[in-house]
Amino acid sequence: MYFRNGVLRFKTQASFSWEVITAVVLTALCIYILKQSPGFGGTSVFSRHDPGVTHVLVTGGAGYIGSHAALRLLKDSYRVTIVDNLSRGNMGAVKVLQELFPEPGRLQFIYADLGDAKAVNKIFAENAFDAVMHFAAVAYVGESTMEPLRYYHNITANTLTVLEAMAAHEDADYGSYSSVSYQPVWESQENGGGHYIRFLKEIDMAVMILRYFNVIGSDPEGRLGEAPRPELREHGRISGACFDAALGVIPGLKVKGTDYPTADGTCIRDYIDVTDLVDAHVKALDKAEPKKVGIYNVGTGKVFLYEFVEACKQATGAKIKVEYLSRRPGDYAEVFSNPRRSTTSSTGRPTTPTCRRASRSRGDGRDRIPTATGDPKNT
């Protein structure tokens, strides 16, 4: 019985029966589709260890280096979970990866802050990780001098939160970040990370620590690159500023510091292409041994800042206006490493001159990435 156009009408028995049958069929179809999904019944493929599949947690995987690492791992048939709070990461990079690898069980993104111990432990409890690549950090020199406590907390406390969760869930660690006091930095030195190294030596993990300095370049196919938000570009890398200037995004390049005690007055840095760096990470992951801590410097040697700027000009063919300014607080005259151990091990060393190769990307890939940022629920 129902109303239509103000008139009381009655359904026939046959009409009612067909509606019931249709509802039953649709319900059965929905149940069937749900059963085919990886997460049906509360069990996700990411929560189990599958033979022949290595599941890697990539913290900071929405960032510049982390997204390139995730891309390489996915290309090599790893299962990848990205955890990022998007304070510096780019949701656009995650979307690029999701489009490239849409198959179920390949890639998942979790929006979380590593400073939240409860959230971190929940992630480890609900996922079966075989390894962790830890890239989550803040890394702008100028900003670090203005907010030193924030930087210290992010790099130390948050890293310890991850390590504690890994120890509690008996997962392997694989991390990389660097801090230097002496030049060059040798692999035997524990500058800035000695307390972590001593902690890691006491627990049952396979640990590889890669230390590096100025990362440049982008995915050779232009799918990813360095794409900081506009408000962060002032604190960004000189490589990004060079490409922005070459593309006309900014009117020119600002070189800060020409009175350093070096041959040409500009600072000396150790540059490495991001694809070479990611390659070293993957090789180090394969080389990791239980209950051992390996420390490797991944670098290419000394490069004067002036040399890098000239390489960018030559590779892009652009006329870049350069403005020379006073030093930036927090910058050292020389920051480079001695990569002897990595060059004689299976972690390898780049074979192509880094500045020239990175500069050939003409824009560092940033013009090809959607600049989606913030909470993924709103993107």
pLDDT score for 303: 76
Read off the pLDDT of residues 174-215 as tens digits, 9 standing for 90 and up: 333 333 323 344 444 445 555 666 666 676 778 888 888 888
Read off the pLDDT of residues 138-167 as tens digits, 9 standing for 90 and up: 777 777 778 888 888 887 888 889 988 988
The span from the CA of 124 to the CA of 130, in Å, is 11
The least confident of 6-10, 24-28, 338-342 is: 6-10
Chain mean pLDDT for the chain: 75
Residue-number span of the structural domain to which 282 is assigned: 55-335
Task: State yes or no: is 196 an active-site residue.
Answer: yes
The span from the CA of 159 to the CA of 137, in Å, is 9
Read off the pLDDT of residues 63-78 as tens digits, 9 standing for 90 and up: 999 999 999 999 999 9
Residue 26 lies in a domain: no
Catalytic residue among 111, 174, 196, 260: 196
CATH number of residue 110's parent domain: 3.40.50.720
Residue 378 lies in a domain: no
Amino acid in position 48: R
| pLDDT confidence bin for 369, thresholds 50/70/90 | very low
Residue 326 lies in a domain: yes
Residue 171's alpha-carbon distances to 132, 162, 163, 296, in angstroms, are 8, 11, 9, 21
SS3 state of residue 240: helix
The string of DSSP letters for 31-61 reads HHHHHHSTTGGG--GGGSPPTT--EEEEETT
Phi first, then psi: give them for residue 132, nearest 5 degrees. Answer: -130, 130
Residue 343 has pLDDT above 60, yes or no: no
How many structural domains is the chain composed of? 1
